Structure 1
Amino acid sequence: MSKNIYVGNLAWSTSETEIRDAFAAHGEVTSVKLIEDRETGRPRGFGFVEMSNDSDALAAIGDLDGKDFGGRNIKVNEAKPRVERPRW
């Protein structure tokens, strides 16, 4: 079963390829999605990585959480299910 991982506190210049490479050192990465602001298209400093194997994902979380990545200490943990919020 695949595991979805939250990655936060990213530098705006961080690319999906850089994230994929960092996580691929721990196992197969099935997808990477960096979130952008809907109106400006600028990066929001966080994203999600999906890995195909739970144990690989947990190893990546343990190894990468709090590490310096592009000059910032990134936050890496298990993603929580998305909660739909009403739009105003």
Structure 2
Amino acid sequence: MTRIEKVDLRMVDLVPKVKRTDAIQSFVSQETPIVTITDSDGAVGTGYSYTIGTGGSSVMRLLSDHLVPRLIGRDPDMIEAIWHDLEFATHATTIGAITAI
């Protein structure tokens, strides 16, 4: 049975050539966390998200400390089950410390 064996994390910081702004913030940088997952059959998948200049290091720590350990050994074909597990593991994050600050 195929299992997730390895998860690599990278952060790319993309600085725009021209400063961009909207009604509430300036876009000074695009921090882009990139996740690459390798399974026991050698299949590789890559995904990414982004922040607008802040929080990227926190996203990387959340991934490395809490989410990646929940992926190792899982069946990569069980996408919905994995998604629900990761969502449940972090669902209280936004109603706890982050919103209190």
Both proteins in one fold, TM over 0.5: no
**Larger gyration radius, structure 1 or structure 2:** 2
Which structure has greater helix proportion? 2
Which structure has greater strand proportion? 1
TM-score (normalizing by structure 1): 0.31
